[in-house]
């Protein structure tokens, strides 16, 4: 055995062996219980990985490796969410085909991830830009269309006048285009929509059935925005028209002194554009309003109250109109004071039932599914002058994304696909007359809404996944099945998770998946920030490449450091000086092995628990097994590494059997060094296929306890006694302890015993 730990000779060796032996490939049927662990598949950017990217991969790798050692048939898959803006922006800038760019980028990501020893099942690798994959994304869209859940609607969209493209809300930053920084305008355009609102009640209610972190459930509920309240009609003066108001507090109607309308609703009622833009930030923005000149009758007291168009009411919430009750609402009070409107401090809060129609509303709005882009899945629809909207026949899927020379949007704002006449102009599948293809593409949310299903059967050409394999990996209980554990970023715990749950419920209603929810459990991780606490970015020049860390310190050191650097769910700044600690820890692990080989030469083979070490060491070992096992399940990875470091510090030499247990506990975090040491200790089977250590509760209980002895409150000594020793015997031993007795010249006035901890002798 080499005296010093050399990661450069170990890591590539074992990565090659693992891949050759396929030890991480999941079986589609097994006598073992299945376990499906999942990460959010990465977007393969041109910059490659930085050290923040692997944190979730390593975290779920630790979980997956432990589950394999516990006897599960584990599916831990990987793929690429490769459609989207960054690659399209690069194509626009350089003219390079996104296919070529994506192939290069995925190659870089694949190499980097493999260098970290992540136990992914690479045989199931998928790519959302692969026609074999997006054929089924298009197929699912056609099912939405058949059921009336996909439809076209003319609506106002975010519009970048410079790039001539429509933008999703998440692509608008501080009212500017994320791509070029130009202020965004509103433009009316027909868009494809998915009717997610029809699932709003179930999406909200079924959160009670899943094991999501509390803040994830809260984010989902807030976005869905379920509100129970009432709608009330306010009749406009000298008109048969009325304004319908939704309120969660109909009992406050007697305190209403004005109505506030969203700009779109005000324009619809009056025909006027008041020039106000909506800003729904309640706390941080000035409340702006313009009097429409209309008056409306408060049905509770027949008072005529003014109607304002305001910047803080959205047409997408409730009815687009609210009643202002300044005595009970800070926002309304601020507005009323600014515009000198009445504030009724003490008003009647009863009798509202005669005016209120009880309703349940949701803040959630239907999903805008169109993008006027190139690098996305073509929407499989044809427009015929005679037949109207015609779905592409399923036998003709996939609708392939054609190659183009120019990736810029058209002057009219249509997708670059609109310029390819040979692709656009087709025959109608129904009447064979002249027709045109849809040139909008899908958002990158589409491919990521169902990818976890494809992992179960990635090479199936007849269906998106066989029901048999879906039943095996998701389970057959509709109420309790799904991916066993899904971890991802906090930034994706709202929209991605919501869209994915919606698609899954739709497929469940069609009888195509066995469970009502896609994921049993969802957790999240914090970002790794650059040194100094800034977000890592190429523009800031603070990106740290994991290749450099792996070359200098080793993949195992990087893995241990990223799990040790702080709580997994919290953001933490990278500190290159701190990585020395995990490296030295692994060097000490290696050193212990050299001493075992020298001192025991593999001859010590005692049965469990009979190795010649002190009882306190046996107890410490079982306590460590318990803590490591429980803390991995709680994603408290930093405390696991801490516990292993403490155990090693307290046991710098140990018998072979103890050391082997220690290596098993370390294996999920540092797979290469533990595999090498396991083999050097004489084992043929991989350590990652060995059984996970079990603790014995009877061994955890301390056999001896240390009692601190005080005299008049000052520590004067200590005694060690068997744990079962009675109070009288402990007191007697304390009084006769040599280091203590010299402070006692007479009979003590009082002897106070704190069980298992200390004795205070008062003289």
Q: Over 60: is that where the pLDDT of 367 sits?
A: yes
pLDDT tens digits for range 311-335: 999 887 889 999 999 999 999 999 9
The mean pLDDT of 1-25, rounded to a whole number, is 94
Q: Of 129, 199, 163, give the one whose Cα is nearest residue 365.
A: 199
Is 664 labelled as part of a ligand binding site? no
CATH topology of domain 226-362: Isoleucyl-tRNA Synthetase; domain 2 (3.90.740)
Q: Of 245, 244, 203, give the one whose Cα is nearest residue 226.
A: 203
Rounded to the nearest integer, the mean pLDDT of the chain is: 92
pLDDT tens digits for range 38-86: 999 999 998 899 999 999 999 999 999 999 999 999 999 999 999 988 8
At 163, list the tokens: 């790039």
Specify the pairing of strand 485-489 against strand 521-525: parallel
Q: Which CATH architecture has domain 23-129+446-529?
A: 3-Layer(aba) Sandwich (3.40)
Domain boundary assignment for the chain: 23-129+446-529, 150-208+368-437, 226-362, 552-560+576-699, 702-762
Torsion angle (degrees, nearest 10) of CA 232, 235, 241, 245: -30
Q: What was the pLDDT predicted at 538?
A: 79
pLDDT tens digits for range 167-181: 777 678 888 887 788
Class of domain 702-762: alpha beta
Q: What was the pLDDT predicted at 211?
A: 97
Q: What was the pLDDT predicted at 352?
A: 57
Q: Of 144, 37, 230, 188, give the one whose Cα is nearest residue 635.
A: 37
Write phi, then psi, for 97 (nearest 5 degrees).
Answer: -60, 125
Q: Over 90: is that where the pLDDT of 637 sits?
A: yes
Which residue(s) pair with 525 in the sheet? 489
DSSP string over 671-719:
HHHHHHHHHHTT--S-GGGSPPP---HHHHS-SEEEEEEEETTEEEEEE
Q: Please tell me what DSSP assigns to residue 178.
A: T
Residue pair 245/522 in contact (Cβ under 8 Å)? The answer is no
Q: Over 70: is that where the pLDDT of 606 sits?
A: no
Indicate the SS3 state at residue 253.
Answer: helix
**Residue 463, by phi and psi: left (phi above 0), alpha (psi -120 to 50) or beta?**
beta
Q: Over 60: is that where the pLDDT of 283 sits?
A: no
pLDDT tens digits for range 123-162: 999 999 999 999 999 999 999 999 999 999 998 888 888 8
161 burial level (CB within 10 Å; 0-12, 13-18, 19+)? middle
The full length of the chain comes to: 763
Which residue(s) pair with 66 in the sheet? none
pTM: 0.86
Q: Over 70: is that where the pLDDT of 611 sits?
A: no
Residue % of the chain over a pLDDT of 70: 95
Confidence of residue 594 (pLDDT cuts 50, 70, 90): confident
Q: What's the CATH code, domain 552-560+576-699?
A: 1.10.730.10
Residue pair 75/455 in contact (Cβ under 8 Å)? The answer is yes
Confidence of residue 355 (pLDDT cuts 50, 70, 90): low
Specify the pairing of strand 176-177 against strand 242-247: unpaired
pLDDT tens digits for range 673-705: 999 999 999 999 999 999 999 998 877 776 678
CATH topology of domain 150-208+368-437: 2.170.220
At 623, list the tokens: 């306590």
What share of residues in the chain are helix, strand, coil (percent, to 5)?
40, 20, 40
Q: Over 80: is that where the pLDDT of 303 sits?
A: yes
The mean pLDDT of 402-418, rounded to a whole number, is 87
């Amino acid at each position: 055995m080499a005296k010093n730990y050399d990661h450069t000779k170990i890591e590539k060796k074992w990565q090659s062996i693992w891949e050759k032996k396929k030890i991480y490939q999941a079986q589609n049927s097994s006598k073992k219980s299945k376990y499906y662990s999942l990460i959010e598949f990465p977007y393969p950017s041109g910059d490659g990985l930085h050290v923040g990217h692997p944190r979730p991969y390593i975290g779920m790798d630790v979980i997956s490796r432990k589950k394999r050692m516990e006897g599960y048939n584990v599916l831990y898959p990987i793929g690429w969410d490769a459609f989207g803006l960054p690659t399209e922006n690069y194509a626009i800038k350089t003219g390079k085909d996104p296919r070529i760019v994506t192939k290069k980028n995925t190659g870089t990501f694949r190499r980097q991830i493999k260098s970290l020893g992540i136990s992914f099942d690479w045989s199931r690798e998928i790519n959302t830009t692969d026609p074999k994959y997006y054929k089924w994304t298009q197929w699912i869209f056609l099912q939405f269309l058949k059921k009336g859940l996909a439809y076209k609607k003319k609506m106002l969209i975010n519009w970048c006048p410079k790039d001539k493209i429509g933008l999703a809300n998440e692509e608008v930053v501080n009212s500017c285009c994320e791509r070029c920084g130009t202020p965004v305008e509103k433009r009316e355009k027909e868009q494809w929509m998915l009717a997610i609102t029809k699932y709003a009640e179930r999406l909200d209610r079924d959160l009670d059935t899943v094991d999501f972190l509390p803040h994830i459930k809260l984010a989902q509920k807030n976005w869905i925005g379920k509100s129970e309240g009432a709608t009330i009609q306010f009749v406009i003066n000298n008109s048969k028209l009325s304004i319908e108001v939704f309120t969660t507090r109909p009992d406050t109607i007697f305190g209403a002194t004005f109505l506030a309308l969203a700009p779109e609703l005000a324009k619809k009622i009056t025909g006027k554009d008041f020039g106000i833009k909506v800003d729904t930030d309640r706390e941080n923005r000035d409340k702006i309003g313009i009097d429409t000149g209309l008056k409306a009758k408060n049905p509770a007291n027949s008072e005529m109250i003014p109607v304002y168009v305001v910047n803080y009411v959205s047409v997408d919430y409730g009815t687009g109109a609210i009643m202002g009750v300044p005595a009970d609402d800070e926002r309304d009070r601020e507005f009323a004071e600014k515009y000198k409107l009445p504030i009724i401090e003490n008003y009647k809060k009863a009798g509202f039932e005669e005016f209120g129609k009880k309703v349940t509303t949701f803040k959630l709005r239907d999903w805008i599914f169109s993008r006027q882009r190139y690098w996305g899945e073509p929407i499989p629809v044809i427009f015929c002058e005679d037949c109207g909207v015609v779905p592409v026949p399923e036998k003709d899927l996939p609708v392939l994304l054609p190659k183009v020379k120019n990736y810029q949007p058209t002057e009219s704002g249509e997708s670059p696909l609109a310029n390819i006449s040979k692709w656009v102009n087709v025959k109608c599948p129904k009447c064979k007359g002249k027709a045109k293809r849809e040139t909008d593409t899908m958002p990158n949310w589409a491919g990521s809404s169902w990818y976890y299903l494809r992992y179960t059967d990635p090479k199936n050409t007849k269906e998106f996944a066989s029901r048999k394999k879906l039943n095996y990996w998701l389970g057959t209980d509709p109420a309790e099945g799904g991916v066993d554990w899904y971890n991802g970023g906090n930034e994706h715990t709202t929209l991605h998770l919501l869209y994915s749950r919606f698609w899954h419920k739709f497929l469940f209603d069609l009888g195509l998946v066995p469970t009502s929810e896609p994921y049993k459990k969802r957790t999240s991780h914090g970002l790794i920030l650059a040194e100094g606490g800034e977000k890592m970015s190429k523009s800031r020049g603070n990106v740290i490449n994991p290749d450099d860390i792996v070359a200098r310190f080793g993949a195992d050191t990087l893995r241990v450091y990223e799990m040790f650097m702080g709580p997994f769910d919290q953001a933490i700044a990278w500190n290159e000086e701190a990585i020395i600690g995990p490296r030295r820890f692994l060097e000490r692990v290696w050193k212990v092995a050299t001493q075992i080989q020298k001192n025991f030469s593999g001859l010590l083979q005692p049965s469990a628990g009979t190795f010649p070490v002190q009882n306190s060491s046996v107890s410490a070992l079982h306590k460590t097994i318990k803590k490591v096992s429980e803390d991995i399940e709680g994603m408290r990875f930093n405390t696991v590494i801490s516990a292993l470091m403490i155990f090693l510090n307290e046991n710098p030499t140990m018998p072979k059997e103890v050391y082997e247990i220690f290596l098993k506990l370390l294996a999920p975090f540092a797979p290469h060094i533990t595999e090498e040491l396991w083999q050097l200790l004489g084992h043929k089977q991989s350590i990652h296929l060995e059984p996970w250590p079990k603790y014995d509760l009877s061994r955890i209980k301390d056999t001896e306890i240390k009692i601190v002895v005080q005299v008049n409150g000052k520590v004067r000594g200590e005694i060690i006694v068997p744990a079962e020793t009675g109070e009288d015997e402990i007191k007697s031993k304390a009084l006769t302890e040599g280091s203590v007795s010299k402070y006692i010249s007479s009979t003590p006035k009082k002897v106070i015993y704190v069980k298992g901890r200390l004795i205070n002798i008062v003289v």
